[in-house]
Chains A and B, each alone.
Chain A
Amino acid sequence: MHPGIIFFLVILGSILFHIFTPWYWTDVASNWGGMDDTITLTFWIGGGVFVAVCLFMVYCVFKFSYKEDRKADYQPEDKKLEKILTWATTIGVVALLAPGLVIWNNYVNVPKNAIEVDVMAWQWGWQYRLPGEDGKLGTTQVVNVTDDNPFGINLDDPYGKDDVMIQSDILNLENNKPVKILLRSVDVLHNWYVPQFRAKMDAVPGIVTYYWFEPNKTGEFEVLCVEYCGVGHYAMRGGVIVQDKQDYSKWLNEQETFSDLIAKQQKINTDKTKLAKK
């Protein structure tokens, strides 16, 4: 069999695989559908180039196979052709880059009305904190973290007192409300990623990083850590539940604030002292 046939079948197989693949995107559940669109566009342009180049190669292999009595063409350069190809490629590249940069511009500019969520990562788990009624998160420091102060909130920061602390590795979000995820880590690199939301960013110890998205489908989603963080990396999962406004408000009212936690701890402490006195 002529090797060109096999190469041709490989190209054909690639196209068919792409058309009929059962392995593809999960349905997008956030505002970042534009990322999917750019990928589709890249598939058309890039895939087109791939198929064209490979088919041209296959054609050459058939047409110009070695014959004793034939001589190859001798033309070291073709300035015009090279120029055309350079410009065509440049145009293709610009066509891909432009939408990519537009979306990136959206990605780094967070809407003003986004709700801030403190996502704190550690080996190997997640915990979440929401701003209280003042709408602001209290400042934090790693050295403050104790059992009584799981987020390391600065005690002298008035914004911190009413912060809502979620006692679970599942975070609830309100549908169609933009969220700004503020990422922190107390130990190593992590990354808080929900495939359906498309967005991600590393959590880096020592600094606070961020990204934003707007969930647009209610439901339960799995959170994956996607920056390698040691042997427990693959098991570092969490969850997100996207709810309608009503359900979300109900859930939010059931959560504990930092002041609640301090009061509870004080009560336990006084009970303990009373018990000891008796």
Chain B
Amino acid sequence: MSHASKRLRYVLKRLLQAFPIVLAIVVVNFFLLHMAEGDAVDVLAGEAGSATPEYMAELRKKFGLDQPLPVQLLVYLKNVFTFDLGYSFRHEMPVLDLVLDRFIPTLLLMISTIILAVGVGIVLGLLAASGLNTWRDTMISVFALVTYATPLFWVGLMFIVIFSLNLGWFPTSGMKNVAAFNDPWSWANIKDVAHHLVLPTITLSLFYLALYTRLMRASMLEQAGMDYVTTARAKGLTERRIMFVHVLRNALLPVVTMAGVQVGALIGGSVIVESVFAWPGLGMLAFEALFARDLNLLLGIFLLSALLVVAVNLIVDIIYSSLDPRIEVG
């Protein structure tokens, strides 16, 4: 069997395996969410200041909340199979539209953060490991420790104070200048969004950066003690070649694993950054949905996150086999 068709078979197998996992996630989430006190009607009526019991009963009927729980679950599952994620009664919009609308800002923030954190983390880890126990190593390790230990919201606020208020380099918050109303695909708009993306990305990256730096450093040191390094050295290869061709490639494996795991965490972990910088992402939407007991919306976000994690893990496994040909898929 050719390598390519083997890989395709592997992908299909993994997708089939993902199916029961996602289903289980949906069911568990459904029951977990329904354990919370109060429902969407309580919140809507509470915000309105006052409402009659008849009005609330009518709302519950409209939302389908008067049905027994198993019936609600079946209805939901049936809808999910037809790619209908339901309706958010709070936003008066289909869940799918809401989620997709917020998915792009999330993706922007996530991708830029991963690139920055993994990229800079690898470089810093490499620099630290290659200059073991020198001032360079110490500086980088202290930097990693400090950024890892600093609360994200504080970093975000400090960045706003320094770079927005004092220096005036970047806007404090939002995804674009709301008073400008640029055409979405115009150059001005892309520049505007990029300008707004800088502070949230750096803030969110700092935490993960520290993680990758430390991981990369440890992984490089571990690989440097391996037999193949001794062999390479015996063959008379330069230290530079050993480091960049042999050690680096192997040392990257744990970093890639970590990055894969953290894509899922990034969706949730960005709530704080989204909140501080008013970035219109999924994390914030999920957070608000929780407090509004907008369960359809929450379930939709969870489902999307679950799918994303499954997909990313699959991609990571495939990257594995490219990095280290000894690892075979199948």
Instruction: Tell me if chain B binds chain A.
Output: no
